[in-house]
Structure 1
Amino acid sequence: MTSSTAASGGSHAHAGPPDIKLDRNVLMVAGVVVLGAIMSILDVTVVSVAQNTFQQEFGTDAAGSAWTMTGYTLALAAVIPLSSWAASRFGTKRVYLTSLVLFVLGSALCALAWSIGSLVAFRVIQGLGGGLLMPIGMMILTKAAGPERVGSVMAVLGIPMLLGPIAGPILGGLLIEYASWHWVFLINVPIGLVAIVYSAIVLRSDEETSKPKIDIVGLLLLSPGLALFLYGISSSNEEGTFIAPKVLIPAIVGLVLIVAFVFHALRADKPLLDLRLFKNRTLTVAVITMTLFMIAFFGAALLFPQYYIGVRGQSTLMAGLLLAPQGIGAMITMPIAGRMTDKIGPGKFVLSGVVLMFLGLGTFVFLGAGTSYWLLSAALFVQGLGMGMTMMPIMAAALATLNNQQVPDGSTMMNVVQQTASSIGSAVIAVILATNLKSNSDAGLAIVSNTQPEKLGGLPVPDSAFDHAATAFGHTFVVSAILIAVTLIPAFFLPRKKIQSNLTEEDVNRAPTMVH
């Protein structure tokens, strides 16, 4: 966006109805950010598909291969809190390019891994880069578009966020089946190189950086606190319970460090993350809504492929294809919701979207072993329509009221919330599902027959086992449906009219991120 364009955008805010159409400059910046988001988000879901392959290739067990995901997640958690400081200290362009280089380097090294230990180490390098891609990308997009168009640009950014969990299993299945596990990582290299060159050309260096000193105390509290908390939570998947020492000890220690950071941040002059932003009512409501939404959404997202594979006996590739209606629904409503959010505020769309998601999830509460795929696809499509009307308008609500100096902290905060809430949602639902399956031994037998048939040694599995397994999934979906319904409470308080920006004329004139 050129300075003149930005300035004109500022005058529109005072002279009359703003032009919320995304111009070529903003779309080019969005292209940069979307490329980075695609790599970061797809990588998580693609690697999840390759877990069995890693066990076979490196002679490890499920717990060992799971570290390829845990290590990545912990690196994300450790580096995300640095986003705001790094952007202020070095500029968004430099940090974004550095994160892309780290991610591509990590991807190439992962493809060269010779053991499970080396693969986990290289995944950590990937995570250090990937953790900065989304928050820095959001900062770049928000500043490029300005507050009048934040809903529209968030809708663009939301496409890879919502399609990643759907496209990942399809892509992962294809790569592993027709190429090799190495391509799960190698595919990032050409995309990443294009993104690096594209970013270097399109993004403009920040006109000034504030050179702030890093909040050492805050860093030593928040980064390890988040990492330990998420490690404890994610360990519940392996342990099948929340009361195991491996879960409780790191989670409690991490939570104590996070609470200590809150007290520190509220007293420090320049904390690592400015929690005083919570004085902004709209941002506070958006954060609460996003937290509940992400817990429910990622919890449910974990169940869909497991049902199709474990109960219905579908391949990973077919399970991914069966989830496609959800992505199609989201693609239909997301651009509309983004544009209209800029005109009339997020409240009405988020409320409608949550209701649609509840209706879609409600169908899965009554799952059977032979429930019609047409019915399930229709339910997923309805849920997708709701997703497209929900996630990014919430994000837009959080960022639209911030000025340029507050955007880095706001973006970092939303990414911390997303990462933490999604991990909690996945863990809670995984433990509830495991408990429901254990309550009936036949149910577990059905899952094993479709995922690890060699363990049964050819023993027959009664048809009733699949019915019991489907019922266990249905009961677990009840929890996700309730969580989505609860999201209606904070969503009710989101603005239902156009959000008034706090951006000043000086902020607008300093917003350009495009080359001239």
Structure 2
Amino acid sequence: MAAPPTARAAAAPIPWPVWRLALVMAFGAFMSQLDTSVVNVGLDTIATDLRAGLGSAQWVANAYLIALGLSLPACGWLVRRFGAGPVWLASLTGFTLTSGLCALAGDIGWLVAFRVAQGLTAGLLLPAGQTVLGQAVGTHRLGRVMATLGIAVTLAPALGPGLGGLLLHLGSWPWLFLVNLPLGALALWLGLRHVPRERPSVHPGSLDWPGLLLVAAGVPLLIYGLSAWGERGAASGVSGGVSGGGLGGALGPVAAGALALAAFAWHVRRAAHPVLDLRLFANPAYAAATATAALTGAAMFGSTLLFPLYFQVGRDTGVTATGLALIPLGLGTALLLPVSGRLTDRFGGGVVSVYGGLAAVATTVPFALLGTDMNTATVEGLLLLRGMALALAVTPVGIAAYQAVAPEQLADATTQVNILQRLGGALGGTVFAVVLTTRLPLGVEDAFHAAFRWLTAASVLGLAGAAWLTAAQRRGRGAEGG
């Protein structure tokens, strides 16, 4: 296991070239995450202009999200084969070019196809960027530079709906994609100047095609099925109906995805060079960190579905006002991420995430106990504090996973952590939506109390995972010291 952070290493200044590299990586991460929310605002306009049904236009969003999950499993092998810098640059180039193709699409079929291509390239940007930074800065100072990526990933979904609405107001739907061209060109120019492009000296072996096909099918199917289940439950909550969370249409993808991943787990034990190196889980600190990443993913990303419903259904708030009301949540996370990174470098991810988990539980309990007519200032204050809590609870866990492995294993670690966080988020969103919709016949307030009790339980599980991670890190340090 890699050496734990020390006070001297954590306090060491980070050179400007590393900060500059972190800003370039954050630029790419911001673009890919922004696209998940900017386009959603224009689905109705796209459907009208391309003479398609809204159901068909919804695939403009779904295709992108599914493609993100498709390319993610291949990232580790691509980085080991070609290098993190070249993979990041190629992904950014592909993302920018496919954005232009999306803007030129003349019918809904071509637009969905180009969105698939765009998602395939976007799925590599975040894990490849994390690997670039990990290789450049070293594990002891990883917290501070990774926080820069975290700020970009947090702010992008918060700013996306507003930017999308502005682009539609000033122009037409192709501008939702054309905006990526100047941003991508600038990021590519900066990347060519500052991103290292060394290729690995050791060949990773041939690509494990059977394993890649299994996991590349299983992950997006599971994410899509769980997300569709949750979204249908959310839609029934907004419309006032109860559909059991959309079980019928989502169970097939969930079952198929779970079966594919089970087959992958069987296959990986027999593969000479598996596409995902599951031997990393033999490291107790890494296993604890990745499990906690999935749990905190459920509490963080799952709640992104629950809180908008709390405003729209529970407090009868309009869509635009709901977006504005949720700004404190993202703002709180962005404000505290730099502090979170510094604390992680100083004390370790486990300890920091324990305090973050405690704060996340404390800021969720009021929603489970108080009425939906809670004072607006109180709600906004709790959201701001919850955002700060998530900055301490979520990001340090991923950093702890990266610090637990050797440098040559970092590409696999970033890929696996991103997969587990996405799966955890999809599962959390599904559970909260199903609880909400099944309790709505008993009353809106009762339904939200129940849903927030489940969110509190998810936060408690994340806290338990953080305690497990802290214990694993301490045992590892004790073994190294002994």
Give TM-score scaled by structure 2 length.
Answer: 0.89
**Cα contact 2:82–2:200 (8 A) shared by 1:** no
Match of 2:455 among 480, 484, 494: 480
Q: Give me the whole-angstrom Cα distance separating, in 1, the residues matched to 2:53 and 2:448.
A: 25
Q: Give me the whole-angstrom Cα distance separating, in 1, the residues matched to 2:12 and 2:244.
A: 48
Q: Give me the whole-angstrom Cα distance separating, in 1, the residues matched to 2:282 and 2:312.
A: 46
Match of 2:134 among 142, 147, 151: 142
Match of 1:283 among 279, 282, 286: 286
1:304 aligns with 2:307: yes
Q: Could you say if the C-alpha distance between residues 226 and 138 of structure 1 is closer, same or farther in structure 2, counting changes exceeding 3 Å? A: same
Which stretch shows the higher mean deviation, 102-111 or 143-152? 102-111
Determine the structure 2 residue equivalent to 1:98: 90
Tell me which amino acid in the other structure corresponds to 1:208. P
1:207 to partner: Cα distance: 4.6
Query: What aligned pairs does 1:34-433 form with structure 2 within 5 A after superposition?
Result: 34-211=26-203, 212-236=205-229, 237-238=231-232, 240-241=243-244, 244-366=247-369, 368=371, 370-433=373-436
Which stretch shows the higher mean deviation, 109-118 or 385-394? 109-118
Q: Give me the whole-angstrom Cα distance separating, in 2, the residues matched to 1:18 and 1:284.
A: 24
Which stretch shows the higher mean deviation, 46-55 or 134-143? 46-55
Tell which structure's C-alpha radius of gyration is larger. Answer: 1
**Cα contact 1:296–1:480 (8 A) shared by 2:** yes
Which stretch shows the higher mean deviation, 265-274 or 73-82? 265-274
Secondary structure at the aligned position of 2:432 is classed as helix
**Cα contact 1:90–1:209 (8 A) shared by 2:** no
Q: Give me the whole-angstrom Cα distance separating, in 2, the residues matched to 1:242 and 1:323.
A: 24
Tell me which amino acid in the other structure corresponds to 1:103. F
Secondary structure at the aligned position of 2:197 is classed as coil
1:284 to partner: Cα distance: 0.6
Q: Give me the whole-angstrom Cα distance separating, in 1, the residues matched to 2:7 and 2:322.
A: 52
Determine the structure 1 residue equivalent to 2:240: none
Q: Give me the whole-angstrom Cα distance separating, in 2, the residues matched to 1:255 and 1:173.
A: 37
Tell me which amino acid in the other structure corresponds to 1:486. L
Determine the structure 2 residue equivalent to 1:510: none
Q: Give me the whole-angstrom Cα distance separating, in 2, the residues matched to 1:369 and 1:136.
A: 42
Secondary structure at the aligned position of 2:269 is classed as helix
Determine the structure 2 residue equivalent to 1:491: 466
Q: Give me the whole-angstrom Cα distance separating, in 2, the residues matched to 1:415 and 1:333.
A: 21
Q: Could you say if the C-alpha distance between residues 227 and 329 of structure 1 is closer, same or farther in structure 2, counting changes exceeding 3 Å? A: closer
Q: Give me the whole-angstrom Cα distance separating, in 2, the residues matched to 1:136 and 1:130.
A: 10
**Cα contact 2:298–2:429 (8 A) shared by 1:** yes
Q: Give me the whole-angstrom Cα distance separating, in 2, the residues matched to 1:14 and 1:417.
A: 28
Q: Give me the whole-angstrom Cα distance separating, in 1, the residues matched to 2:244 and 2:52.
A: 23
Q: Give me the whole-angstrom Cα distance separating, in 2, the residues matched to 1:111 and 1:433.
A: 37
Q: Give me the whole-angstrom Cα distance separating, in 2, the residues matched to 1:14 and 1:367.
A: 43
Q: Give me the whole-angstrom Cα distance separating, in 2, the residues matched to 1:308 and 1:229.
A: 28
Unaligned runs of 5+ in 2: 234-242, 478-482
Secondary structure at the aligned position of 2:272 is classed as coil
Secondary structure at the aligned position of 1:272 is classed as coil
1:474 to partner: Cα distance: 3.6
Secondary structure at the aligned position of 1:117 is classed as helix
1:499 to partner: Cα distance: 10
Q: Could you say if the C-alpha distance between residues 74 and 415 of structure 1 is closer, same or farther in structure 2, counting changes exceeding 3 Å? A: same
Q: State the identity %.
A: 34
Determine the structure 1 residue equivalent to 2:239: none
Give TM-score scaled by structure 1 length.
Answer: 0.83
Unaligned runs of 5+ in 1: 1-9, 441-467, 502-516
Q: Give me the whole-angstrom Cα distance separating, in 2, the residues matched to 1:17 and 1:273.
A: 31
Aligned residues: 464
Q: Give me the whole-angstrom Cα distance separating, in 1, the residues matched to 2:289 and 2:191.
A: 30
